[in-house]
Structure 1
């Protein structure tokens, strides 16, 4: 919930931003306060507090406090950015793993299942699927294409902005683009998505909530992870993106039924001759 509030803050009215700042700064105190007390501390009206709660995806103030309490009770601290030059190998390994585990739990809990179901439906019916991502997200796009080409769907991954810009203009209605972007603010990717939508294709994004990429999408799947990409390359967001891709791939496979399962088994069997005999793997 705190990550969601941080992601939404810039999209809120100035009065609602004061409520968001209070929640971010003193989340535990907020749990014990009434709506009138929150309004007084944030120097806003009670209706403003209610608008903020609805903007955060809650039915009201009580529902918001319930979600916030669950988030604080079950959250795992993000610590990989606390890795220091004097950390031992066991310490840094523990911090990196804990960070990844926390990210997966958080993204799983906040993932909109209705949006995920809609994305699976679009991809299951798509004539062609193109995966767009740049930099670190380009690697995730390649992994996604590797998952989906086995599902008997024509798929391709592009990480070069010039190439996916041209490819987007050649899409048609019934095609789909899966855009992967941690920040959701990459200018070249945004332009390609605009071209894809103009061509009639659906756009499914895996990105940060409230981002420009999310706003351009037919369906947006949010992966809001706290990390500092200026210090280390994005790690937790990449793992969360891969998990969402896996969920989409499994969903499409199930939609396509028993026949696809048999074909996947046959494809896997073709790899046996490429392995040294006598080993289980």
Structure 2
């Protein structure tokens, strides 16, 4: 954008709730620009004019209360960046909750509940999500593993059989090594569930895509909300599988919980 258009953008980001009640002349005065500059700004962000921009902004504010208020800066106090990190994560989770396909979730739960072997593949931050998933699912009377090493992923994928399930986790949806492991698993007859952004190669190659779209802030201070969203989707899958397995699994989980009591200090 031009310098004058950036002044409009900066004022709007700092005062989003006020904009929807302003006239174009009011915004031009407050941002210290001309009215045509406001119009050019609106067109630069894909709107035909100021009225359409205000309508879009009002809809965004209604669905995302923290819009424009979650970017962490180096001058923030601990109270300010605490609120921003929490608000950003909550905002992300609500968006993912409302957008994720229930039919795809149902298909993934059905496949995982019927499988005897479920493995989780991921690299980097997604590798941590895979490890957390393995910790949840091994308690559900399934043979589970989590792999974040490319070579081990490939060997594991090559040992898959029909009816086995691989859950491929990727925040970018474009990791070449993960795509190769997914392809190998499918060649062996396994079903691949993909947690990745919609339209990404991982989502397109998955047998069952669970599309998780998170707009990450590209600034240096960035709460990695996509990791949290993936963790919650894994929780949803685990609850679904546990529900499918019924009372027998509940008895098993109760035994596991009771077995952990001996590892804890008594309350005084």
TM-score w.r.t. the length of structure 1 is 0.74
The alpha-carbon deviation at position 80 of structure 1 amounts to 7.9
Q: 1:131 aligns with which of 115, 120, 125?
A: 120
3-state SS, counterpart of residue 182 of structure 2: helix
Q: 1:152 aligns with which of 109, 118, 141?
A: 141
1:278 correspondence with 2:267: yes
Distance in 1 (CA, whole Å) between partners of 2:219 and 2:178 is 20
- CA displacement, residues 67-120 of structure 1 (integer Å, 9 cap, x when unaligned): x98665222335686211111100111110000000000000001101100100
Q: 2:46 aligns with which of 20, 25, 34?
A: 25
The alpha-carbon deviation at position 25 of structure 1 amounts to 3.1
Confirm or deny: 8 A CA contact 1:80 1:96 kept in the other structure. no
Q: 2:150 aligns with which of 161, 183, 193?
A: 161
Aligned residue in 2 for 1:206: 195
Which structure 2 residues correspond to residues 228-247 of structure 1 after superposition, within 5 A?
A: 228=217, 231-232=220-221, 235-247=224-236
Confirm or deny: 8 A CA contact 1:227 1:236 kept in the other structure. yes
CA gap of 1:234–1:139, structure 2 versus 1, over 3 A, is farther
Distance in 2 (CA, whole Å) between partners of 1:231 and 1:97 is 17
CA gap of 1:223–1:232, structure 2 versus 1, over 3 A, is farther
Distance in 1 (CA, whole Å) between partners of 2:218 and 2:59 is 27
3-state SS, counterpart of residue 271 of structure 1: helix
The alpha-carbon deviation at position 228 of structure 1 amounts to 3.2
Over 4 Å off, 4+ runs: 68-72, 78-81
Q: 1:250 aligns with which of 239, 243, 247?
A: 239
Structure 2 residues without counterparts, runs of 5 or longer: 1-42
- CA displacement, residues 176-200 of structure 1 (integer Å, 9 cap, x when unaligned): 0001101100010010001111111
3-state SS, counterpart of residue 276 of structure 1: coil
Higher deviation after alignment, 130-139 or 217-226:
217-226
The alpha-carbon deviation at position 230 of structure 1 amounts to 6.6
Confirm or deny: 8 A CA contact 2:60 2:67 kept in the other structure. no
Task: Please say which structure displays the higher CA radius of gyration.
Answer: 2
Q: 2:94 aligns with which of 90, 105, 113?
A: 105
Distance in 1 (CA, whole Å) between partners of 2:232 and 2:119 is 18
Q: 2:110 aligns with which of 109, 114, 121?
A: 121
Q: 2:248 aligns with which of 231, 238, 259?
A: 259
Distance in 1 (CA, whole Å) between partners of 2:219 and 2:186 is 32
Distance in 1 (CA, whole Å) between partners of 2:109 and 2:54 is 37
The alpha-carbon deviation at position 229 of structure 1 amounts to 5.5
Structure 1 residues without counterparts, runs of 5 or longer: 1-21, 33-64
Distance in 1 (CA, whole Å) between partners of 2:145 and 2:267 is 35
Distance in 2 (CA, whole Å) between partners of 1:199 and 1:216 is 15
CA gap of 1:167–1:270, structure 2 versus 1, over 3 A, is same
Aligned residue in 2 for 1:37: none
1:186 correspondence with 2:209: no
Which structure 2 residues correspond to residues 28-39 of structure 1 after superposition, within 5 A?
A: 29=52
Distance in 2 (CA, whole Å) between partners of 1:92 and 1:234 is 10
Distance in 2 (CA, whole Å) between partners of 1:163 and 1:144 is 17
